[in-house]
Structure 1
Amino acid sequence: MTDPLKKRRRRSRLMTYGAVAAALALTAAGVGVAQAAATPPPLQFVAATGQVTAERYDYDGDIYLSFDLGLHVIAGKDPLEIWAKRTGYDKPIVAEQTVVKNGKKKKVALPAGLVTDFTGLKDFTTISIADADGKVVTEYKTPFCGNTWSSARTRPDAPAANPYPTSCGGGNPFTLGAVWGVQAGWDAAVQDQPYSGRGESFDLPVGKYTATATVNPTYRELFGIPKDQGSAKVEVTVVDATDDNKAGLARVKAADARAEAGTDRPDEHSLHTAEGDAKRQVSSYVPELRAPAKRPTPLKAAPTGGPRPDLRSLPAWDISLSEEDGKTYVNFGATVWNAGTSPLLVDGFRRSGTELMDAYQYFFDAKGNQVGSRPAGTMEWDPREGHLHWHFTDFAQYNLLDSSQKLAVRSGKEAFCLANTDAVDFTIPNAKWRPENTDLSTSCGANTVIAVREVLDIGNGDTYSQFRPGQSFEITDLPNGTYYIQTLANPEKKLAELDTTNNSSLREIILGGTPDARTLTVPPVHGIEG
């Protein structure tokens, strides 16, 4: 697995968010107990405070701006819930809002053009920042999806839990479907900096500013935001942070990682119609991510039918060349996701005195009862720096194929720690919107354990960014020409799944140049450049 600092995903250096005690701050702003008894508007737009301080860090030439205007939206008596989906990569994204009328939920199509990617509602907010003399120094628009780590309920009668994902889901170019939402009575932070995924940078010199945030009138009318809450002003003081303020910088980098790694993520599910209620109750059966107590003896036979995972490989993405120690490598990101009717759940049981585990895949019926298991290969301890966890050895394989699609190079990366890093399609039945294991800290285990549980939930993908030579392809001596990066799931077919015909994906690349200056061309696939 790749360096934890890379979080197995691309991330912004400037798109950062300071911590906000949301519930307390919003109550202080007048949104709290006093409003609980009244009927709230469908959606409110508020600033938690009128004054904030932004810390500016110069970290070896990289600028980090700890900038948080404290902007929030608050859902009224019903959640704000939006489903965005495309039926193919060459198809437009269609967005629908789940609305409640006469006690029943139904989907209502949003106007075309409001959703063009999976970062959220396009141009939801306009942020204008003026200096102390009133001169506008920057103005930009930001999207909004509602999914966030920092959401909290803002009134005592709000539901106890938030069912919605913790990130928007726009980090993977091959995302198929996303669910965005703000729980009734809960808040969601509004993005207040340019989306760095499009290459927009953001910085403010030390000084005093006034930030004015305005909701796009289309959204204000669509979601019922009161006219007097269409904008908010916040006074901003930018100060230099000292180089030795390691704690502050650590907070900035941690917020940065949350903001884009994860792409924020998913636990319980919301409910949609009577049929949807039953389906989503089934999805809550996923066992906790605690290691199993003991090796299963005797083993029940794997059932011949019933729910199964369905591992699907996405085309390789984020492809680039790198050089190290005189050698040239092709780096890439690879995603395998679960489009099935059951999570992929694999338990590992350690062989005493060794750094090897026996792995077993477990099966469940439609009601969520465990009904069987079968051997599924092994797990091994990876002692390398940046890994230091248990790898499942039979999950995927990466191959570089030549123009005739015969093997040219096999990646050294052939063992994996399963984690729900990417929301590939949260609109499929029983998708797990808030999975618990989203990074290395919530799965994989330490060398002191005797058992490990690894899970890939429905609708989620596991992405590896290939930054190490041992995980990427060495192409130093390969001739120029056309090649294909193959991402192959379940290569030895030790895992039982619904369909194995969709386990392989190919991404064309073209190598050129000279031995001392290789070039790489990556044609679009399904119209996607990523």
Structure 2
Amino acid sequence: MTHTQGSRRLRRSALVAAAAFAVVAGGVGAAPGAGAATPVTPKLKLVAASTSVTADRYDGDTGVYLDLGAYLTADKAPFELRVTRKSYKDPVVVAQVTRGGSKTVTKKLPAGLVKDFAGLPGFLQVTITDSKGVKVASTSDTFCPNSASGRIRPDAPATSPYPDGCSDNPFTLGSVWGVQKGWAAAASQGIGPDGGVDLKAGTYTAKISVAKKYRDVFGIPNDQPTVKVTVRTVQDGSGAARSRLSAALPGGQPRAGSAPGTLRAAAHRPTGAAGVPSNVPKPDLRALPAYGIAITDGSDGGEGDAPATGTDYLAFSATVWDAGPAPLVVDGFRTPGKEKMDAYQYFYDAKGKQVGYTPTGTMEWDPRVGHQHWHFSDFASYRLLSSDKKLIVRSGKEAFCLANTDAIDYTVKNANWHPNNTDLATACGEHSALSVREVLDVGNGDTYSQYRPGQSFDISKLANGTYYIQVIANPDHRLKESSYGNNVALRKVILGGTPGHRTVKVPAYELVNAP
């Protein structure tokens, strides 16, 4: 099964090799803006890149995708926010961080300013009037400071330490958002609901501004740039339009990653006696509760599997993440002519030097459509339990290609804000490969969506009632970890309906109300 497509992916190439985790952790301490004797507050400003834009309304679409070219610029110092929650029983809170010299000041912002990790909700306010000055639409947009960004002047720092994108994984625990000094971040990611803004062909004026509550909190002036919007009607393009719209709107962005081959396995199998020093940093794999839970008929996935008529499946997404302090690094080596690779887990000291390894099972090639890459065996296991938490159904999914699909907690020690392998194309290998390296970086999670028959749970013959989806990380403890006590997560579900028309209710998980 493919990894989830819902989360915003981290797309910037890593600054160092994934194994050298200790170096990446310095991203916060090395944040620009140091040098002043006291912490410096950034000067923020809303700007429009152009005075006019053109939007196409495709035949059959219900709205127009609007990219107004609105940006938030940061000057004098970086604009940095820390977004966290202590646990899933606690609300999401946000604090602004300013620096000067060796001094760092963290200022808590008003409670309720953010409710999740997708960005600052309602940050950008947009009012649209027609050629006669009559208001025809008003909308708002969430602002992710980690969105598409770049320098606004030639003397600005050449790189930004901040991550790319904001997380829409409902079980994210900690994020770092920021706009580098002398940089701008896109405040307009595509305005409007899934159908876009309902504007007919014609000429309009869009007035953009920052919501007052954010102006007050961050000291942003009340600038209100205007942008001329010309809407054109395009015939016979509904299919292309929908594809374009889904790719542009938040949550529908296609994944991209580093160039294939940036993470390479060692040239040869390890030599000498296998061993893991007792004091070496190890990864801490943690399972998160399932989400994205739904009933399907098994027709999703496109593998060619023909589900039986009237068959009901319980589909879901599941994430396993690495809380650190070390990355999970697994290399596979193939003996020529063999169909499986021997897998080894590697260990590094605080300076990123390899200090140990241990055999850890196998990797196998999956030739099915939608896979076609090397899977590491026994990374996770999914099970459906009865109300008394006894095994009912076990998912057929047991082997995985590791990829950093979701930023789960970028505030943990040694978190890598710029992982290399963010999708299956970056580290899973070709069939002809002799070796493969797969990495799960600190602070990052690997999410799989279980929608295909054999991976989702066949519930056709199950009685209505209460069940639990169980997600298990490292089920056989083949991988060496710092702790095995957080490898299991449960999510309660309630099945109802009739055969062929089954229903599922998903109660909130503490304060996380995401089915």
TM-score range, shorter chain: 0.7 to 0.9
Do residues 213 (structure 1) and 208 (structure 2) align?
yes
Match of 2:297 among 318, 323, 345: 323
Do residues 233 (structure 1) and 205 (structure 2) align?
no
How far does residue 66 in structure 1 lie from its aligned partner after superposition?
4.3
The aligned residue for residue 16 of structure 2 is none
Rounded Cα–Cα distance in structure 2 between residues aligned with 1:11 and 1:499: 27
Which residue identity does 1:527 align to in structure 2?
L
- Seen in structure 2, the aligned counterparts of structure 1 residues 510 and 133 have a Cα distance that, compared at 3 Å, is same
Q: Is 1:43–1:75's contact at 8 Å kept on the other side of the alignment? A: yes
1:295-352 CA-to-partner distances (Å, cap 9, x unmatched) read 2123541121221111111111111111143211000010111112001111111231
Rounded Cα–Cα distance in structure 1 between residues aligned with 2:46 and 2:312: 51
Matches within 5 A, 1:100-179: 100-101=99-100, 104-148=103-147, 150-169=148-167, 171-179=168-176
How far does residue 242 in structure 1 lie from its aligned partner after superposition?
4.8
What SS is found at the alignment partner of 2:217? Answer: helix
1:439-473 CA-to-partner distances (Å, cap 9, x unmatched) read 12222122132211111111111111122112100
- Answer with 93-102 or 345-354: which moved more: 93-102
- Seen in structure 2, the aligned counterparts of structure 1 residues 518 and 365 have a Cα distance that, compared at 3 Å, is same
Match of 1:10 among 6, 12, 25: 6
What SS is found at the alignment partner of 2:150? Answer: coil
How far does residue 111 in structure 1 lie from its aligned partner after superposition?
2.1
- Seen in structure 2, the aligned counterparts of structure 1 residues 260 and 463 have a Cα distance that, compared at 3 Å, is same
Matches within 5 A, 1:265-304: 289-304=263-278
Rounded Cα–Cα distance in structure 2 between residues aligned with 1:246 and 1:484: 39
Rounded Cα–Cα distance in structure 2 between residues aligned with 1:517 and 1:370: 54
Number of residue pairs aligned between Structure 1 and Structure 2: 471
Rounded Cα–Cα distance in structure 2 between residues aligned with 1:54 and 1:525: 41
What SS is found at the alignment partner of 1:520? Answer: strand
TM-score normalised to the size of structure 2? Answer: 0.85
The aligned residue for residue 251 of structure 2 is 260
How far does residue 102 in structure 1 lie from its aligned partner after superposition?
6.1
The aligned residue for residue 28 of structure 1 is none
Q: CA RMSD in A?
A: 2.7
What SS is found at the alignment partner of 2:425? Answer: helix
1:475-521 CA-to-partner distances (Å, cap 9, x unmatched) read 11122222111000001110001111110111111222333432222
- Answer with 461-470 or 212-221: which moved more: 212-221
- Seen in structure 2, the aligned counterparts of structure 1 residues 309 and 252 have a Cα distance that, compared at 3 Å, is same
1:355-394 CA-to-partner distances (Å, cap 9, x unmatched) read 3111111101122211111111111111111111111112
Which residue identity does 1:479 align to in structure 2?
A
The aligned residue for residue 55 of structure 2 is 54
How far does residue 163 in structure 1 lie from its aligned partner after superposition?
1.3
- Seen in structure 2, the aligned counterparts of structure 1 residues 62 and 451 have a Cα distance that, compared at 3 Å, is farther
- Seen in structure 2, the aligned counterparts of structure 1 residues 527 and 195 have a Cα distance that, compared at 3 Å, is farther
1:25-77 CA-to-partner distances (Å, cap 9, x unmatched) read xxxxxxxxxxxxxx99712211000111112335xx56674431111111113
Which residue identity does 2:251 align to in structure 1?
E
What SS is found at the alignment partner of 2:213? Answer: helix
Rounded Cα–Cα distance in structure 1 between residues aligned with 2:4 and 2:407: 14
Do residues 204 (structure 1) and 199 (structure 2) align?
yes
Q: Is 1:127–1:192's contact at 8 Å kept on the other side of the alignment? A: no
Match of 1:435 among 405, 419, 433: 419
Rounded Cα–Cα distance in structure 2 between residues aligned with 1:40 and 1:520: 49
Q: Is 1:71–1:190's contact at 8 Å kept on the other side of the alignment? A: yes
The aligned residue for residue 274 of structure 1 is none
Do residues 396 (structure 1) and 369 (structure 2) align?
no
How far does residue 254 in structure 1 lie from its aligned partner after superposition?
4.2
Which residue identity does 1:419 align to in structure 2?
A
The aligned residue for residue 357 of structure 2 is 373
- Seen in structure 2, the aligned counterparts of structure 1 residues 175 and 152 have a Cα distance that, compared at 3 Å, is same
**Which structure: greater helix fraction?**
1
Do residues 340 (structure 1) and 324 (structure 2) align?
yes
How far does residue 90 in structure 1 lie from its aligned partner after superposition?
2.1
- Answer with 116-125 or 456-465: which moved more: 116-125
Rounded Cα–Cα distance in structure 2 between residues aligned with 1:63 and 1:386: 31
Q: Is 2:257–2:425's contact at 8 Å kept on the other side of the alignment? A: no
Do residues 503 (structure 1) and 487 (structure 2) align?
yes
- Seen in structure 2, the aligned counterparts of structure 1 residues 71 and 299 have a Cα distance that, compared at 3 Å, is farther
Q: Is 1:424–1:461's contact at 8 Å kept on the other side of the alignment? A: yes
Do residues 83 (structure 1) and 82 (structure 2) align?
yes
How far does residue 292 in structure 1 lie from its aligned partner after superposition?
2.6
Q: Is 2:209–2:225's contact at 8 Å kept on the other side of the alignment? A: yes
The aligned residue for residue 474 of structure 1 is 458
Which residue identity does 2:512 align to in structure 1?
I
The aligned residue for residue 71 of structure 2 is 72
Identical counterparts, % of pairs: 52
Rounded Cα–Cα distance in structure 1 between residues aligned with 2:366 and 2:269: 22
Rounded Cα–Cα distance in structure 2 between residues aligned with 1:494 and 1:106: 43
What SS is found at the alignment partner of 1:111? Answer: coil
Rounded Cα–Cα distance in structure 1 between residues aligned with 2:246 and 2:446: 22
Q: Is 1:120–1:145's contact at 8 Å kept on the other side of the alignment? A: yes
Q: Is 1:147–1:164's contact at 8 Å kept on the other side of the alignment? A: yes
